[in-house]
Amino acid sequence: MREVAAEFVNPVMLYSIGKDSSVMLHLAMKAFFPAKPPFPLMHVDTAWKFREMIAFRDQTAKRLGLELIVHVNEDGVKRGINPFDSGSSLHTQVMKTESLKQALDRHGFDAAFGGARRDEEKSRAKERIFSFRNRHHGWDPKNQRPELWRVYNTRINKGESIRVFPLSNWTELDIWQYILAENIPIVPLYFAAKRPVVERGGTLIMRDDDRMALLPGEQVQERLVRFRTLGCYPLTGAIESDADTLEAIVTEMFTARTSERQGRLIDGDEKASMEKKKNEGYF
Amino acid sequence: MNAPSSGLQKFLADQEKKSLLRFLTCGSVDDGKSTLIGRLLYDSKLLFEDTLSALEKDSRKFGTAGEDIDFALLVDGLEAEREQGITIDVAYRFFATDKRKFIVADTPGHEQYTRNMATGASNSDLAVILIDARKGVLIQTRRHAYIASLLGIRHIVLAVNKIDLVEYSQKIFDDIVADFALFARDLSFASQMAIPLSARHGDNVISKSSSTPWYSGPALLDHLETVDVDSALANGPFRLPVQWVNRPDLDFRGFAGTVASGRVKPGDAIAVAKSGRISRVTRIVTMDGDLPEAMAGDAVTLTLADEVDVSRGDVLCDVHKRPEVSDQFAAHLLWMAEEELLPARQYLLKLATTTVPVTVSALKHKVDVNTLGHLAGKTLALNEVGYCNFSLSQPLAFDPYRDNRDMGGFILIDRFTNSTVGAGMIDFGLRRATNVHWQALDVNKTMRGTMKGQKPAILWFTGLSGSGKSTIANLVEKALAAEGRHTYLLDGDNVRHGLNRDLGFTDADRVENIRRVGETAKLFLDAGLIVLVSFISPFRSERRMARELVGADEFVEIFVDTPLEVCMQRDPKGLYEKALSGGIKNFTGIDSPYEPPELAELTIRTVEAPAEIQAEAILRHLRDKDYI
């Protein structure tokens, strides 16, 4: 992280409010202590995040005294893009991928931190820690810069940028252990609680507000659930669990038999979908 | 609560104690690397149910293992390669057993992707080299073993795979092991372990197989869990490359970085490697409170007792055991770009936290990776390894790579494309640099220029052959001489008859040609002259190198911009005709490129006005800028 702060003109930390972002932010606070991290946080808001995430986000920025930029793709909002009618694929494309590019362009950021990990998904495993993006934010997996030792090539031309993934070599279990060891605050949604959920297509969706219309035969039920991963509420599946403390979550983790991205509805859209999104500029 | 919290405590304590082993797997195409990694993940029960069901679905669609699960599909990530059935990049995998955590770098066996293997090897402690029992030791096997050794990997596992396909034959296994040992004798590995296995069926992967009763060694996973790869870094001399100077306010000044070797405590005396200044460590600052000690691998912020000048790129070190500081060193270089290495071209070198311009001053020899023999050569192509002398534009603090990867490993960056083009491992510093000091002279350039009533400058004319460079340069020099100015004209053709008579017209020679002319022009400039240089000088990099030899206001680049068709038509020396008929090779504009300047101070279009008018425009520029 200090490497980025030293070598780039205008870096930013993409803050997604999830547990990985919380760990990444905590590391940044440590890396620059006693100074503050010399870059702002940015959240690309799709307008469909859980309300508790937004509250946590604002409170975190305030607590740490950091600048927070919130970007929403206004164009997408005007077009009425939403995960129910537009489908998860278009929603993600417009409200996340396009929106992220817009935000990076508007502020002229030349380096952006992201909390992605190599163990999350197959194409992420081949990502560099310092990942070069062309003027159009595209990623070319066949033409990546070799990355040796801990020596990172940070040189870019005007308009090009680098995405930096400090948590590349962390696993999901590492993340939870670190949160536990360092007592890092996380969004309450990770803890089990009674929440209003709807069962749709085999997945438990939390009805976070009344924009979610019920389909015939669907019922809102109060169930004891928590989330292993957080995104847009209509696209994020909950799991039934009674793990309401960090200790209980870690215990649940080491007996878990399903991977965390299973709760993400966007990955199943089509084969190799993550790789496609990345070529287009998704994180 | 699902589990008693004492169970959790124990689990966490066990996790803390686990050591980490980073290893890479390499082998030729279809040796079964991906299958082996998939097998390790599968058998160590690290697969989640959803991943497993996706795998079963994929196996039926793409798989090559019939009805069985094709483990390779678990590991190969990118769509294109999944369809081709080859791994084409480095992929990192994570798994853990009760004893250790593992990070696996899966690297390709394809010959043209050797650079990816070097990438994977640079951060690994151990290499698993796969050999297809049916094929034995191949050229790629030797290449992989050599690169592993070059990048400082000291532990090797020779995994003789597909042993089931040779009827679990001990003789075949023994022959392969002997064959490899012969080659690896000179590669100085600390440990070598050969294991017969079948990734597809799981023989000797997780547990010993009953099909190889003649094999007495451990299964692969056993070996990976127990092999001792501890390095001596924590006991080495203290090194901290400064990454960031932390100055939140006027009262605090901390130097942040990751300790590359050794240990440090408050009170320790330290030196700044390059300047030699000495101070004492006062605090080791972290967010969780000050530390009593930091050691190799820790990311820390130090404060010092004195106001010494330290910035990013400096190395804080042990006072008694300091790193070498030199502007010349010898190193192994692995070339990783399509475009070949040009000795004498300037690249950027990045080592730890320092970036400096560098040139290869001599390519001593290339290494034949099959025989480890030495070959003569002028350049390095993609995936070739050479032993070179390097010359830096300023001194650098470093240690030999064999002692410390962080202090001795560097990358080379192309100044125009910004791509990473080479990886270097420093062998030793060249003492020459320390002994040849610059002589500070009393009569200097400014004084010599003032005596001649002019501001010394280099007028660099670049353009195609026949563009009119020499004609215009001649006219400018005549006009300057008529005004009583002191000048010298360096002309391409004339210099090639003398100083550069040993050079040809290959890219490498062209670069050296311009380097020498740049240096010569610099000496004349120092003598107080206005130097006119009339050279085709087709490459941007070399013109930039010449520009950077001198002060910013001492270099005037003049682009004589004449279309190729016009030059061919003029053809004053009949060269284009010869080149077109094949009589001259590497002729600029015909079969060798010309890269037009992007930021020339002056551009002259000879088709728009006669040479006399153009020369006048140049003189006007010199007056406007107060050169004359």
- Identify whether the C-beta of residue B458 lies closer than 8 Å to the C-beta of residue B554: yes
Residue of B nearest to A146 (CA): B119
- Identify whether the C-beta of residue B459 lies closer than 8 Å to the C-beta of residue B533: yes
Residue of A nearest to B299 (CA): A31
pLDDT of residue B126: 92
Q: What is the DSSP letter of B198?
A: B
Q: How many helices (H) and strands (E) are present in chain B, helices listed first?
A: 19, 27
Using CB atoms, which residue from A33, A36, A150 is nearest to B406? A150
Q: What is the CA radius of gyration of chain A?
A: 19
Do B15-226 and B324-435 share a fold?
A: no
pLDDT band at residue B2 using 50, 70 and 90 as cut-offs? very low
Instruction: Tell me the CB-side half-sphere exposure of residue B83, using CA atoms within 13 A.
Output: 4
Using CB atoms, which residue from B2, B122, B287 is nearest to A149? B122
Q: Is the pLDDT score of B317 beyond 80?
A: yes
CA distance B453 to chain A (A): 41
Q: Identify the residue whose tokens are 């002279």.
A: B441
A257 and B5: CB-CB below 8 Å?
Answer: no
Q: Is the pLDDT score of B114 beyond 80?
A: no
Fold for domain B445-624? Answer: Rossmann fold (3.40.50)
Q: What angle do CA A260, A225, A195 make, to 5 degrees?
A: 130
A251 and B7: CB-CB below 8 Å?
Answer: yes
A146 and B119: CB-CB below 8 Å?
Answer: yes
Using CB atoms, which residue from A121, A254, A262 is nearest to B50? A262
A125 and B11: CB-CB below 8 Å?
Answer: no
Structure tokens at A264: 């993400």
Q: Which CATH class is domain B233-318?
A: mainly beta
Q: Which of B247, B418, B426, B598 to mutate to test the interface with A (most CBs of A within 10 A)?
A: B418
B50 and A123: CB-CB below 8 Å?
Answer: no
Of B46, B35, B58, the closest CA to residue B128 belongs to B35
Residue of B nearest to A242 (CA): B1
Mean pLDDT computed over A92-100: 81
A126 and B49: CB-CB below 8 Å?
Answer: no
A148 and B419: CB-CB below 8 Å?
Answer: no
CA B480 centroid distance within chain:
46
CA B261 centroid distance within chain:
22
Contacts of A177 in chain B (CB under 8 A): 12, 15
Total Cβ atoms within 10 A of residue A80 = 8
Residue range B324-435, CATH number = 2.40.30.10
Q: Is the pLDDT score of B79 beyond 50?
A: no
Q: Which of A149, A177, A182 to mutate to test the interface with B (most CBs of B within 10 A)?
A: A149
**Gap between the Cα atoms of A223 and A208, Å rounded:** 14
ipTM of the predicted structure?
0.79
Residue of B nearest to A153 (CA): B420
For strands B254-258 and B263-264, give the pairing. unpaired
What is the residue-wise DSSP string for B572-585? TTSHHHHHHTTSSS
Contacts of B350 in chain A (CB under 8 A): 151, 153
Contacts of B271 (CB under 8 A, 6+ apart): B277, B278, B316, B317, B318, B319, B322
pLDDT band at residue B436 using 50, 70 and 90 as cut-offs? very low
Q: What is the DSSP letter of B249?
A: S
CA B551 centroid distance within chain:
28
A149 and B420: CB-CB below 8 Å?
Answer: no
**Gap between the Cα atoms of A20 and A40, Å rounded:** 17
Give a three-class secondary structure readout of A87-135: HHHHHHHHHHHHHHHHHHHHHCCCEEECCCCCCCCCHHHHCCCEEEECC
Where do the structural domains in chain B lie, given as residue ranges? Answer: 15-226, 233-318, 324-435, 445-624
Using CB atoms, which residue from B7, B76, B405 is nearest to A149? B405
How close are the terminal C-alpha atoms of chain A, in Å? Answer: 18
CB pairs under 8 A between A and B: 158
Cross-strand partners of A14: A42
Q: Which of B411, B416, B540 to mutate to test the interface with A (most CBs of A within 10 A)?
A: B411
pLDDT tens-place string over residues A7-60: 888 899 989 888 999 999 999 999 888 888 989 999 888 888 888 888 999 999
**Gap between the Cα atoms of B437 and B452, Å rounded:** 29
The SS3 call for residue B347 is strand
A141 and B78: CB-CB below 8 Å?
Answer: yes
Q: Is B537 among the residues known to form the active site?
A: yes
Contacts of B351 in chain A (CB under 8 A): 151
Contacts of B116 in chain A (CB under 8 A): 146
**Gap between the Cα atoms of B36 and B104, Å rounded:** 11
CA distance B35 to chain A (A): 15
Of A147, A262, A126, A138, the closest CA to residue B81 belongs to A126
Using CB atoms, which residue from B2, B119, B406 is nearest to A147? B119
Total Cβ atoms within 10 A of residue B69 = 20
**Gap between the Cα atoms of B384 and B333, Å rounded:** 8
Structure tokens at B133: 């029992």
Sort residue B60 into left (φ over 0), alpha (ψ -120 to 50) or beta: alpha
pLDDT tens-place string over residues A217-253: 788 888 888 888 888 878 888 888 888 888 888 877 7
Between residues B461 and A104, which one has the greater pLDDT? B461
pLDDT of residue B581: 84
Q: Which of A126, A154, A170 to mutate to test the interface with B (most CBs of B within 10 A)?
A: A126
Of B587, B623, B577, B609, the closest CA to residue B472 belongs to B609
Mean pLDDT computed over B17-38: 79
A125 and B243: CB-CB below 8 Å?
Answer: no
Interior/surface letters A209-226, b for 16+ CB within 10 angstroms, e for the rest = eeebeeeeeeeeeebebb
Q: Which of B537, B541, B581, B592 is catalytic?
A: B537
A148 and B409: CB-CB below 8 Å?
Answer: yes
What is the residue-wise DSSP string for B215-230? --S--HHHHHHH----
Q: Is the pLDDT score of B600 beyond 50?
A: yes
pLDDT of residue B315: 93
Of A135, A140, A124, the closest CA to residue A264 belongs to A124
Name which of A261-270, B71-80, B107-116, B400-409 the model is least confident about: A261-270
Between residues A259 and A67, which one has the greater pLDDT? A67
Q: Is the pLDDT score of A276 beyond 80?
A: no
Using CB atoms, which residue from A157, A262, A275 is nearest to B418? A157
Residue of A nearest to B22 (CA): A169
**Gap between the Cα atoms of B161 and B141, Å rounded:** 13
- Residue A265, judged by CB atoms within 10 A of its CB (0-12, 13-18, 19+), counts as buried
Instruction: Tell me the CB-side half-sphere exposure of residue B256, using CA atoms within 13 A.
Output: 23
Structure tokens at A241: 């669990």
Using CB atoms, which residue from B285, B409, B420 is nearest to A33? B285
Residue of A nearest to B106 (CA): A126
B351 and A262: CB-CB below 8 Å?
Answer: no
A32 and B411: CB-CB below 8 Å?
Answer: no
Q: Identify the residue whose tokens are 């000091």.
A: B437
* Proportion of chain B above pLDDT 90, given as a percent: 27
Q: What is the DSSP letter of B304?
A: E
Instruction: Tell me the CB-side half-sphere exposure of residue A166, using CA atoms within 13 A.
Output: 22
The domains found in chain A, sorted by start residue, are 2-172 (3.40.50.620), 185-263 (no CATH)
A252 and B48: CB-CB below 8 Å?
Answer: no
The SS3 call for residue B478 is helix
**Gap between the Cα atoms of B550 and B532, Å rounded:** 14
As a 3-state breakdown, chain B gives helix, strand, coil percent values, each rounded to 5, of 30, 25, 40
Q: Which of B46, B78, B113 to mutate to test the interface with A (most CBs of A within 10 A)?
A: B78
Mean pLDDT computed over B560-568: 91
pLDDT of residue B201: 84
Q: Which CATH class is domain B15-226?
A: alpha beta
pLDDT band at residue A280 using 50, 70 and 90 as cut-offs? low
Structure tokens at A25: 């932010």
How does the average pLDDT of chain B come out, rounded?
83
Total Cβ atoms within 10 A of residue A256 = 16
**Gap between the Cα atoms of B403 and B152, Å rounded:** 9
